[in-house]
Amino acid sequence: HVHVHVHVHGGPTQGGVTASTGAVARTHSTSLSPSSLSSAASAEVETAVVTGGEDDPRVLDVAAFRNGCINPEMIVARAEEKNAAVDKSEAALNGMKTGALYIGPVIAAGTYLQNSDPMMAASNYALFGFGVGALLAGNSLLGKSVHIPTLPEAKNRIIVDYSEGLLRQQDIGVVALSEDDQFEPCGGVMGAVDIQLRNSPNSRPGVRQIANYPSHLHIKNMSVEEGQRGKGVGTALMQCIEKYAKESTDAEMLTLEVRQDNPTAVRLYLKCGFMERENPQKMRVGNMFMVKELS
């Protein structure tokens, strides 16, 4: 499923793209062909191919970008600030209320419905209601009402949520980069997209295979930071993908799915030479399947 937004700055240059395990290859992008240019695509956008894996720092950068440009250090710092702002006495009282007014009655009611024994129900109310309430209150008084993750926990959480395919090297990443301080928390990433080499002898383990289809690069998870859209970044990312496909893979075509109610994305893909095709597999309702043949 592909969501497209578009963004950038500068003046046109061209360059090549190569990639090796754990490395980032960069290129300055202009256009795929005169027919694929939008008016914004004449600006310079720096792009990079991210090969992924545990040793590739761009895996975390992509995850932080997709997390709203919030990196693990920021996650930990925000949790610490939130915890420090908690009124410990009020939090402790709320903890007791949660146990006595919510958890205890539910446990007691369940016990009575199961055994019809009011004494056992009262006993379980006291045990669980006041017990859990006391535990919550104690944690609040000790300043533990807000969970503060460790830095490794925060890193793992956002990578699993946003770039696990890159970590496992089932996906290859393509990113657009900026030197703006706004993107410093995510290593300068202002746009990102994942690609998968499918139906190829060189496809990575676990990658989906499509019956009766040639080797192809499938494009997914495309996004550009909201303030950077409409500046040619989407075109630059597509250029980088096509260049990588031709120079570093045996792909015969590029494929993607896009929502029909996303006209900006559809226009971008049409300008880049994609055509609508019948999807070789079941796709989501409202999606369009598009293909570009690689010469």
Rounded to whole angstroms, the Cα distance separating 46 from 28 reads 5
Burial of residue 286 (number of CB atoms within 10 Å: 0-12, 13-18, 19+): exposed
pLDDT tens, the chain, 295 aa long: 333 333 333 333 233 333 333 444 444 443 333 333 333 343 589 999 999 999 999 999 999 999 999 999 999 999 988 878 877 788 778 878 887 888 888 988 998 898 888 899 889 888 888 888 788 777 776 666 678 899 999 999 999 999 999 999 999 999 999 999 999 999 999 999 999 999 999 998 889 888 889 999 999 999 999 999 889 999 999 999 999 999 999 999 999 999 989 999 999 999 999 999 988 877 677 889 999 999 7
Q: What is the DSSP string of 119-144?
A: HHHHHHIIIIIIHHHHHHHHHHHTT-
| Cβ–Cβ under 8 Å, residues 68 and 130 | no
**Contact status, residue 272 vs residue 254, Cβ threshold 8 Å:** no
Amino acid at 2: V
d(CA 135, CA 139): 6
Look at residue 286 in the predicted model and tell me its pLDDT: 81
Full-model pTM: 0.71
258 vs 282: CA distance, rounded Å: 14
Order the strands of the 216-224 sheet from edge to edge: 24-29, 45-50, 172-177, 189-198, 216-224, 253-259, 287-293, 275-276
